[in-house]
Structure 1
Amino acid sequence: MDIWTYQSVEYVSVAGEAWLASASEYPSSMRALWEARPWAPAVLPCGRVFDVISLPAVFGRRVLDELWTSGPGCGPVATYRGRTLLFVQPGAAARLRTLLAWEEWARDVPPLLCHGQGDAITVPPVQRAVDEPESASGRWIVAPDTGEPWLPGASVVLWACVRAARGRVREGGDQVVDGR
């Protein structure tokens, strides 16, 4: 399944909204904000419920394709200001940053922004008006739809990044380079 060919999820489920709000120090206030202004992006802290890896848009697509093609898939994913935001396990951002700096084979991976404990990110709106064009407020590619979405760890994201950066070998030995 190519998640890029389907229309993006326009609404975050109630359970997904509760999960996102639980990252806030004041979850009930966050839910009240979304009830009053569901089309407004929100700023949420990282480190408690999730970390976020921010990838350049094209590379982010390649990483997501790897996660879905090679397994195991991914949890919530959004776009914001031309970047792909991959939600990962708490603590994964610091671990990934360390692995990328330490491992020689990760040198082909473009610089990633790893948001963890002490950082905050802007998440897209939980709803988007049907007639509203996509804007700088971003959109959900894979919206949170449960109260406990599966989040990949640092090693899963690392291998997906390395495979995406170097291309991957198809069955039969054909090399995939730059998606061709």
Structure 2
Amino acid sequence: MEETIAAAEDSQIAGQIPQQRGDSPQETAVRYAEERHWDVFPGTWLEAVGGIPRCSCGEASCPAPGAHPTRPDWANQATGSATVVRRLWQKQPMASVLLPTGRTFDALCVPETAGFLALARLERMSLTLGPVALSPDRRMQFFVLPGGAVKVPELVRKSGWVPASLDLVALGAGAYVAAPPTRFGARGAVQWARRPTPANRWLPDVEELVSALAYACGRDR
């Protein structure tokens, strides 16, 4: 039975990612603040150096070029005020759009293959899903209600898995995710695998997703 389910899910993994709207980083950040009431803050951006995109931080070996905070106190910079958001991006229009976790949402981060497998399973089960982001480093972030990140290790164990054996990262207070249209170096832009809409304004509890995500990560090892 499990093999039949897995085969059906695998056939859905290759689905195309929806195309992104052509809004600027500032316009998109303002929309996140106004429509979703998410806190946002500007991060680094990409600069062309000899025709090659480099991170504005100046580090040639930057692990997240164009997609990380510019200052250590970034958590204090994050704001849900559209007026402040406009002012922040006026200073650097190409700054990446970063969202702090642990406030209006937490995020469960898994490898892309496991993420699509879990999406297929969750949708077939008719479970409520929040927004799901896909970054060009082949990671997916599932948005859940805030406060859920700390519950993940115990929930994974209850699902029959050893937390350390799975590539399932829970992002809560003190962490952040990059949101569309942020670009990661030459690898491309962050996209929405499941775009924020009025239908998914209410986020799921972490308990609703962990079992499917743990199973998908276990299969992806």
Residue from 181, 185, 208 that aligns with 1:125: 181
* 1:159 alignment partner in structure 2: 211
The answer on whether the counterparts of 1:44 and 1:120 sit within 8 Å (CA) in structure 2 is: yes
The TM-score with structure 1 as length reference comes to 0.69
* 1:23 alignment partner in structure 2: 39
Residue from 45, 58, 80 that aligns with 2:113: 58
Larger relative contact order (CA 8 Å, sep ≥ 6): 1
The TM-score with structure 2 as length reference comes to 0.58
- 1:136 aligned partner, one-letter code: G
Distance 1:39 1:72, change over 3 A: farther
For 2:196 and 2:112, how far apart are their aligned partners in 1? 20
Tell me the alpha carbon deviations over residues 56-86 of structure 1, each in whole angstroms, 9 at most, x when there is no partner.
1101111111111112141101111210111
Distance 1:111 1:3, change over 3 A: closer
For 1:39 and 1:141, how far apart are their aligned partners in 2? 23
For 1:30 and 1:103, how far apart are their aligned partners in 2? 41
- 1:140 aligned partner, one-letter code: W
Q: Does 1:8 align with 2:63?
A: no
Distance 1:147 1:160, change over 3 A: closer
Q: Does 1:145 align with 2:145?
A: no
Aligned-pair distance for 1:153?
Answer: 1.2
SS at match of 1:59: helix
For 1:97 and 1:34, how far apart are their aligned partners in 2? 37
The answer on whether the counterparts of 2:104 and 2:146 sit within 8 Å (CA) in structure 1 is: yes
* 1:71 alignment partner in structure 2: 126
**Structure 1 regions of 5+ residues with no counterpart?**
129-133, 168-177
Distance 1:111 1:164, change over 3 A: closer
For 2:148 and 2:161, how far apart are their aligned partners in 1? 16
* 2:140 alignment partner in structure 1: 84
Distance 1:139 1:148, change over 3 A: closer
Moved more, 3-12 or 88-97: 3-12
Whichever of the two has the greater Rg, that structure is 2
The count of aligned residue pairs is 160
Displaced runs of 4+ in structure 1, greater than 4 A? 14-17, 31-40
For 1:36 and 1:45, how far apart are their aligned partners in 2? 20
Q: State the percentage of identical aligned residues.
A: 26
Aligned CA RMSD, in angstroms, stands at: 3.5
The answer on whether the counterparts of 1:59 and 1:164 sit within 8 Å (CA) in structure 2 is: yes
For 1:21 and 1:8, how far apart are their aligned partners in 2? 23
SS at match of 1:75: coil
Moved more, 17-26 or 134-143: 17-26
**Structure 2 regions of 5+ residues with no counterpart?**
1-11, 22-27, 41-77
- 2:191 aligned partner, one-letter code: R
Tell me the alpha carbon deviations over residues 39-68 of structure 1, each in whole angstroms, 9 at most, x when there is no partner.
753112111111111101101111111111
